[in-house]
């Protein structure tokens, strides 16, 4: 018998759960085997079928030759001396590199650990303030490659990760089909079983895909990278995603909120010195969002090597936040994390050092 090479073996996590029974070529009387594989993969976290000791040898061998349980290798990790944030460097089976960022719980009450997942290698959206946007899109990550980031991170840190945020490299909604498959694995009780409130997808604002996400995917929180209160400023900062107007983007966001019920929409706003940090801009932003009492995450710009932008001082960011709060918005000031190892928001550029 010829054993298929690793390259032709199908990553199991790329296959929707509903299709596992068929893919495994089981007799109906043996359908309980599917459940056994789920337990081995998600609860016991085995990396090979050979380890599934309650399955018959013949099935283990057959499936080992047909499917892959892991496609990534965790090459290296770098931990921030500043705050314990860790950057994980992965290598794909086609020898490409990318990373995710682990944000440890800081021990305070209600504090949670989080993993910032990547969805593409590079990004085609070219936002002018972002390191990922400077790396040409090489390819989409598969659903298996997205989910495996969670597996490897939990194993590396020996604990369950509380929240997953799709805010690493890439534009999740530009890799829609794989994202939806990954979300299904992440949300399903047969998979990683994350609650809707613990999964957040961040987008630079692809309006048609936001609508599709509301219809097709298991519900999750949506974060919209707004970063500007006028179409004019947004066009300068996000040249491609400003193909849609702020008005259309907000309408899609409110529709998402309505369709998903509890799924919350938050707005991300990077405050960049002299670009979008004025009192006028804060007032305009408040006017856009006040009717909905929206949540805004304010992020002081994280410096990216080679880019001309600057971080505003604390007082400016606090003043900006105050204007929003006074007008009824909920504001969270996101502290920069892991900036000493280039693991902060928007700092995930090339990861070729893996």
User: What number of other Cβ atoms are within 10 A of residue 339's Cβ?
Assistant: 18
Catalytic, 345? Answer: yes
- Site for ligand SF4 contains 127 (CB under 6 A): yes
Nearer to ligand SAH, 26 or 128 (CB): 128
| 3-class DSSP assignment, residue 185 | helix
Question: Which listed residue (116, 127, 130, 345) is catalytic?
Answer: 345
Least distance (Å) from ligand SF4 to the CB of residue 91? 21
Nearer to ligand SF4, 150 or 224 (CB): 224
Q: How far apart are CA 100 and CA 30, in angstroms?
A: 38
Stretch that binds ligand SF4, among 11-19, 69-77, 126-134, 156-164 (CB under 6 A): 126-134
Least distance (Å) from ligand SAH to the CB of residue 300? 7
Least distance (Å) from ligand SF4 to the CB of residue 51? 36
Q: How far apart are CA 157 and CA 285, in angstroms?
A: 39
Contacts to ligand SF4 from residues 214-273, by CB under 6 A: 225
Q: How far apart are CA 25 and CA 199, in angstroms?
A: 33
User: What number of other Cβ atoms are within 10 A of residue 70's Cβ?
Assistant: 19
Q: How far apart are CA 169 and CA 161, in angstroms?
A: 19
Residue whose pair of structure tokens reads 């932008």 in the numeric block: 309
Nearer to ligand SF4, 11 or 168 (CB): 168
Q: Which residue is nearest to ligand SF4 (CB)?
A: 133
CA 164 to chain centre: 7
- Contacts with ligand SF4, 186-205, as mask; x by CB under 6 A: ------------------x-
Q: How far apart are CA 70 and CA 12, in angstroms?
A: 8
Among 85, 92, 132, 339, binds ligand SF4 (CB under 6 A): 132
Nearer to ligand SF4, 41 or 220 (CB): 220
User: What number of other Cβ atoms are within 10 A of residue 211's Cβ?
Assistant: 15
Q: How far apart are CA 342 and CA 50, in angstroms?
A: 39
- Site for ligand SF4 contains 90 (CB under 6 A): no
User: What number of other Cβ atoms are within 10 A of residue 229's Cβ?
Assistant: 22
Least distance (Å) from ligand SAH to the CB of residue 118? 8
Find the helix or strand (DSSP H, E) in which 183 lies. Answer: helix 176-187
Least distance (Å) from ligand SAH to the CB of residue 282? 17
Stretch that binds ligand SF4, among 94-102, 105-113, 127-135, 190-198 (CB under 6 A): 127-135
CA 60 to chain centre: 33
Site residues for ligand SAH per CB under 6 A = 129-130, 167, 171, 202-204, 225, 268, 270, 299, 301-302, 304, 345-346
Q: How far apart are CA 187 and CA 88, in angstroms?
A: 23
Nearer to ligand SAH, 130 or 324 (CB): 130
Contacts to ligand SF4 from residues 289-348, by CB under 6 A: none
Least distance (Å) from ligand SAH to the CB of residue 225? 4
Annotate 77-110 with three-state secondary structure: EEECCCCCCEEEEEECCCCCEEEEEEECCCCCCC
Nearer to ligand SAH, 69 or 217 (CB): 217
Parallel, antiparallel or unpaired: strands 221-225 and 199-203: parallel
φ/ψ (deg, to 5) at 306:
90, -5
Applying CB under 6 A, what is the total number of residues that bind ligand SF4?
11
Among 123, 321, 324, 329, binds ligand SF4 (CB under 6 A): 123
Least distance (Å) from ligand SF4 to the CB of residue 53? 42
The DSSP letter of residue 330 is: E
Cα diameter, the chain: 71
Q: Which residue is nearest to ligand SAH (CB)?
A: 346
Give residues in contact with ligand SF4 (CB under 6 A): 123, 125-127, 130, 132-133, 170-171, 204, 225
Catalytic residue numbers? 345
């Amino acid at each position: 018998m010829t054993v298929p090479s690793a390259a032709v073996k199908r990553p199991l996590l790329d296959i929707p759960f509903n299709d596992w029974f068929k893919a495994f070529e089981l007799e109906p009387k043996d359908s309980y085997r599917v459940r056994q594989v789920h337990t081995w993969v998600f609860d016991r976290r085995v990396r090979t079928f050979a380890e599934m000791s309650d399955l018959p040898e013949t099935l283990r061998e057959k499936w080992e030759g047909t499917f892959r349980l892991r496609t990534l290798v965790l090459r290296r990790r770098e931990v921030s001396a500043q705050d314990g944030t860790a950057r994980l460097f992965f290598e794909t089976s086609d020898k490409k590199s990318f990373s995710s960022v682990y944000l440890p719980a800081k021990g305070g009450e209600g504090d949670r650990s989080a993993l910032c997942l990547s969805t593409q290698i590079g990004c085609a959206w070219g936002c002018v303030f972002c390191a990922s946007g400077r790396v040409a899109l090489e390819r989409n990550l598969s659903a298996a490659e997205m989910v495996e980031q969670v597996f490897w991170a939990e194993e590396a840190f020996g604990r369950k990760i509380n929240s997953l945020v799709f805010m690493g490299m890439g534009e999740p909604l530009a890799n829609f089909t794989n994202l939806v498959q990954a979300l299904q694995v992440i949300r399903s009780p047969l998979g990683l079983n994350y609650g809707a409130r613990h999964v957040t997808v961040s987008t630079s604002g692809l309006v048609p895909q936001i609508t599709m996400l509301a219809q097709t995917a298991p519900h999750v929180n949506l974060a919209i990278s707004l970063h500007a209160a006028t179409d004019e400023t947004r066009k300068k900062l996000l040249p491609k995603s400003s193909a849609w107007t702020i008005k259309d983007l907000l309408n899609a966001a409110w529709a998402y909120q309505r369709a998903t019920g509890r799924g919350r929409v938050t707005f991300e706003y990077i405050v960049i010195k002299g670009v979008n940090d004025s009192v006028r801009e804060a007032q305009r932003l408040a006017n856009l969002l006040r009717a909905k009492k929206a949540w805004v995450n304010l992020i002081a710009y994280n410096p990216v090597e080679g880019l001309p932008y600057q971080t505003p001082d604390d007082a400016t960011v606090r003043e900006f936040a105050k204007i929003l709060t006074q007008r009824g918005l909920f504001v969270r000031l996101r502290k920069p994390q892991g900036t000493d190892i280039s693991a902060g928001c928007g700092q995930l550029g090339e990861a070729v050092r893996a």
